[in-house]
C-alpha cells in the first residue's frame, strides 16, 4: 500500500493542467453514490454499523484491480491536517473529512480515482481527469462501479435506480462536475448572464468554495442537479456541450481583452506577478485571485517562461492544509499568510515575468525592471 | 463575514441557482451542520421538505420505516432517508417530490448487471399505489401534440449556443426536453 507522503509527493496528472481545453477547464470530475442493502445510510447508522460495513467493504475496495497498491487509510488514523490536504486535492469531500470512526478513503496510485467509504452514502466513487473530459472520468468510475457491484449487494430499485441517502442523488447517483477558470468573463462582466443561463438549463454553478458569483480565483464549478430520469451519457453530453459554449465565450473574451484592453490586461497581470513575486504577507483569497491573473497571463503568452502547471500546483500548495503539512505543524493564520508569500516568492523566481515594454520594442534584457509610468 | 443565522464568523458559503434565481447563504460551521448544508443540494431539499404542502400532508400521521426506525418527521427535518428501505416506507408523496427535483421519476441509465443487486425492493410494495403509477412513461411532461421537428430545434440550439444566446438556448433546451420522451425514448 502507498503511504501518505508518497501520495502527496507525486502530484496527479490532473493537478498539472494538461487536458482538453486546459486553459479554461481545470478538471472534470464524476462521482457515483452507491449503497449496500441491509445497512442504514451512514448519517443514520450507529458507529458499530458503520465499522461493520467498513470492515466488510474496505478489503473488497482495496482489492479492485484499479485500486490495488493504492493509498488506503482509516480516518481514525488520519490527522486533521492530512484529511484537509485530501480535501484541498479534491480526493475527499469536506463532509467526509469531517467524519472519523467507521470512515476510510481509498485512492488509486495515479490519484485519478478515490473511493470514500461511509460518506453521506456508503460509497462515493470519484474519478478526476484534467481538462474537459467527463466521458473519460465516467468510464473510469463506471468500470470500478461494475467491479464493485459484482462483489457487494447494492441497494438498487428498478424504478428509482441506485438508492441514495439523499433523494437528490437518486437514479444514476451521478454528479458530473467541471472546474472552470473564467477570468476574462469576470473581467468583462459577462459572467453573471452566463451563470444565469446555465442555471436555467438545470445545472448548478458554484465557486471554488461555494462562494458568491465572483468566485475566488475566478474558479467556477458547474455540475448537474438532476440524477433521475436521464441516462449517464445524456447527462454528460449535455454538460460537455454547455461547457464547450462557456469555453468559447471565455476564449473570445480573452481575445477581446488582449486586443481592446491590452494596457489594462497587462497592468493586472503585471501587478499580480509583482505582488506574488515580492510580497511577504499573502492571504489565501489574495493569492488565489493573483494566481488567477497570472494564469491568464501565461495562457495569453503575456508572461515569459511561465508554465501553467507551476501555477496550478501553486493553487494547491498555497491552501492552508498544504502549507501546514509542508511546515509539519499547525500554523496560525498569520504564519500561513507569511509562509504562503514565501512559497510564491520562491516559486516565481524561475519565471521571467510579464514583459515591461510594449510589444513593439525588443528589449529582452531586464524584464523584471519596473515600468516608469510617471 | 457573519453567519446568517447566528453571530459567528461564516465559513460555509452556499450559492444556489434555481431557475435563474440566485440565493446566497453564509453560515458558520455549527449552523451549516445543523441545517445539513454540507452536501450541495441538501439545503434546497430541506426547504422542499419543509414547504407547507408537505408539512400538512404528513403531520397527520407518523410513518416509520420498519427496517431502520427512521420517521417521516426526521425525513422532513434532514431531507435524507435513513436506509434504502425508507424509499418504500415513505413512498407516498415521493413522486411529487422527485418530480420537482429531477427530470423524471423513473430511473433511466445504468443498471447493475449482477443479479444479486437487482432484487426489486420498492416496486412490489408500491402496488398499493397503482393508481398514481398507471401511466408509466413520460412522468414529467405529458407527451406533446405531434412533435415539431426535433432535429430543427437541435440545430437551433446548437446555433444559439454557438452565438452565445444563452437565454434562447435555455428556451430551446426545454422545448427539446419536453419532446424527448415521445421522440427519442
Q: Which residues of A touch B30 (CB under 8 A)?
A: none
Q: What is the pLDDT of residue B134?
A: 40
- Identify the CA nearest to A112 among candidates A71, A159, A62, A149: A71
Portion 20-59 of B in contact with A at CB < 8 A = 20-22, 24, 38-42, 45
Q: Quick check: B21 pLDDT over 60?
A: no
Rounded CA separation B138/B141 (Å): 6
The residues, any chain, with a CB within 8 Å of residue A110's CB and separated by 6 or more, are A12, A13
> Which of A129-138, B17-26, B90-99 is least confident?
B17-26
Least confident of A34-38, B92-96, B139-143: B139-143
At residue B152, the pLDDT reads 73
Q: Is A156 an 8 Å CB contact of chain B?
A: yes
Nearest to A203 by CA among A177, A181, A232: A177
Least CB-CB distance to A160: which of B14, B41, B107?
B107
- The ipTM (two decimal places) reads 0.84
- Between positions 57 and 116 of B, the ones with CB within 8 A of A are 68, 70, 74, 78-84, 87, 94, 97-98, 101-114, 116
Out of B15, B83, B104, name the one closest to residue A39 (CB).
Answer: B83
Q: How far is CA A318 from the centre of its chain?
A: 14
What integer pLDDT is reported at residue A13 of this predicted model? 78
pLDDT of B124 higher than 80: no
Chain A nearest-CA distance from B62, in A, is: 18
Q: Is the pLDDT of residue B112 over 50?
A: yes
* Low-confidence stretches of chain A (pLDDT beneath 50): 211, 213, 357, 360-374
DSSP A73: E
Q: List the single range of A5-14, B33-42, B135-144, B166-175 with lowest mean pLDDT.
A: B135-144
CA distance A349 to chain B (A): 33
- Provide the pLDDT for residue B121: 47
Q: Do B139 and B106 meet the contact criterion of CB atoms below 8 Å apart? A: yes
Give me the pLDDT at residue A2, please: 87
Query: CB-CB: which of B20, B117, B119 is closest to A149?
Result: B117
pTM score above 0.80: no
SS percent in chain A: helix, strand, coil, step 5: 50, 15, 35
Q: Residue B68 above 70 pLDDT?
A: yes
Question: Does the distance separating the beta carbons of B45 and A166 come in below 8 Å?
Answer: yes
Determine how many CB atoms are found less than 10 A away from the CB of residue A336.
23
Residue B12 has pLDDT above 80, yes or no: no
- Closest Cβ opposite residue B15 in set A159, A201, A207: A207
Contact A43 B97 (CB under 8 A): no
Q: Name the pLDDT band for B46 (thresholds 50, 70, 90).
A: very low
User: Which three three-digit cell numbers place residue B181?
Assistant: 420522451
Q: Do B15 and A41 touch (CB under 8 A)?
A: no
How deeply is B108 buried, as exposed, middle or buried, from its count of CB atoms within 10 A (0-12, 13-18, 19+)? middle
pLDDT given at position A255: 96
What's the grid cell of residue B68? 431502520
Closest by CA to B157, choosing from A197, A220, A1, A14, is: A197
| pLDDT at residue A307 in the model | 85
Task: Look at B39 and A204 and tell me if their CB atoms are within 8 Å.
Answer: no
Chain B, residues 144-183, CB within 8 A of chain A, namely 161-162, 164, 166-167, 169-170, 173-174
Which has the higher per-residue pLDDT, A68 or B118?
A68
- In the prediction, which pLDDT does A365 show? 43
**Which residues of chain A make contact with B156, given a CB cutoff of 8 A?**
none
The Cα of B71 is separated from the nearest Cα of chain A by a number of Å equal to 11
Residue A93 φ then ψ, to 5°: -85, 160
Amino acid at each position: 500500500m502507498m503511504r501518505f507522503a508518497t501520495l502527496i509527493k507525486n502530484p496527479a496528472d490532473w493537478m498539472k493542467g494538461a487536458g482538453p481545453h486546459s486553459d479554461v477547464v481545470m478538471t472534470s470530475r464524476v462521482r457515483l453514490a452507491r449503497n449496500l442493502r441491509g445497512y442504514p445510510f451512514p448519517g443514520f447508522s450507529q458507529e458499530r454499523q458503520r465499522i461493520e460495513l467498513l470492515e466488510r467493504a474496505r478489503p473488497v475496495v482495496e482489492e479492485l484491480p484499479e485500486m490495488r497498491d493504492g493509498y488506503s487509510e482509516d480516518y481514525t488514523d488520519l490527522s486533521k491536517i492530512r484529511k484537509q490536504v485530501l480535501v484541498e486535492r479534491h480526493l475527499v469531500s469536506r463532509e467526509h473529512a469531517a467524519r472519523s470512526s467507521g470512515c476510510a478513503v481509498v485512492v488509486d496510485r495515479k490519484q485519478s480515482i478515490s473511493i470514500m467509504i461511509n460518506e453521506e452514502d456508503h460509497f462515493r466513487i470519484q474519478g478526476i481527469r484534467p481538462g474537459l473530459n467527463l466521458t473519460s472520468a465516467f468510464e473510469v468510475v463506471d468500470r470500478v462501479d461494475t467491479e464493485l457491484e459484482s462483489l457487494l449487494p447494492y441497494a438498487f430499485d428498478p424504478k428509482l435506480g441506485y438508492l441514495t441517502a439523499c433523494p437528490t442523488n437518486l437514479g444514476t447517483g451521478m454528479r458530473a462536475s467541471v472546474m472552470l477558470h473564467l477570468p476574462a468573463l469576470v473581467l468583462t462582466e459577462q459572467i453573471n448572464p452566463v451563470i444565469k443561463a446555465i442555471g436555467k438549463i438545470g445545472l448548478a454553478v458554484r465557486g471554488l468554495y461555494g462562494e458568491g458569483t465572483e468566485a475566488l480565483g475566478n474558479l467556477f464549478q458547474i455540475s448537474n442537479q438532476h440524477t433521475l430520469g436521464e441516462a449517464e451519457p445524456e447527462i454528460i453530453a449535455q454538460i460537455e456541450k454547455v461547457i464547450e459554449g462557456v469555453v468559447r465565450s471565455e476564449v473570445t473574451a480573452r481575445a477581446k481583452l488582449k486586443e481592446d484592453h491590452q494596457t489594462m490586461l497587462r497592468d493586472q497581470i503585471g501587478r499580480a506577478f509583482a505582488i506574488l513575486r515580492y510580497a511577504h504577507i499573502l492571504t489565501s483569497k489574495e493569492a488565489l485571485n493573483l494566481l488567477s491573473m497570472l494564469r491568464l497571463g501565461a495562457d495569453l503568452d503575456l508572461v515569459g517562461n511561465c508554465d501553467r502547471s507551476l501555477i496550478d500546483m501553486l493553487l494547491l500548495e498555497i491552501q492552508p492544509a498544504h502549507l501546514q503539512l509542508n511546515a509539519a505543524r499547525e500554523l496560525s493564520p498569520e504564519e500561513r499568510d507569511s509562509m504562503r508569500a514565501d512559497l510564491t516568492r520562491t516559486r516565481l523566481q524561475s519565471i521571467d515575468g510579464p514583459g515591461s515594454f510594449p510589444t513593439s520594442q525588443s528589449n529582452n534584457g531586464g524584464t523584471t525592471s519596473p515600468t516608469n509610468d510617471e | 463575514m457573519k453567519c446568517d443565522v447566528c453571530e459567528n464568523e461564516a465559513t460555509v458559503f452556499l450559492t444556489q441557482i434555481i431557475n435563474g434565481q440566485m440565493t446566497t447563504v453564509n453560515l458558520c460551521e455549527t449552523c451549516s451542520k445543523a441545517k445539513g448544508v454540507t452536501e450541495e443540494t441538501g439545503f434546497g431539499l430541506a426547504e422542499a421538505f419543509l414547504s407547507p404542502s408537505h408539512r400538512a400532508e404528513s403531520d397527520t400521521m407518523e410513518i416509520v420505516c420498519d427496517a431502520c426506525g427512521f420517521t417521516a418527521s426526521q425525513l422532513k427535518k434532514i431531507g435524507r432517508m435513513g436506509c434504502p428501505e425508507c424509499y418504500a416506507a415513505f413512498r407516498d408523496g415521493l413522486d411529487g417530490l422527485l418530480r420537482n427535483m429531477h427530470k423524471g421519476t423513473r430511473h433511466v441509465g445504468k443498471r447493475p448487471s449482477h443479479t444479486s443487486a437487482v432484487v426489486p425492493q420498492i416496486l412490489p410494495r408500491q402496488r398499493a399505489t397503482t393508481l398514481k403509477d398507471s401511466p408509466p412513461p413520460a412522468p414529467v411532461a405529458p407527451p406533446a401534440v405531434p412533435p415539431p421537428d426535433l432535429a430543427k430545434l437541435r440545430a437551433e440550439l446548437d446555433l444559439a449556443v454557438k452565438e452565445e444566446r444563452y437565454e434562447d438556448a435555455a428556451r430551446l433546451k426545454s422545448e427539446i426536453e419536453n419532446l424527448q420522451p415521445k421522440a427519442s425514448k
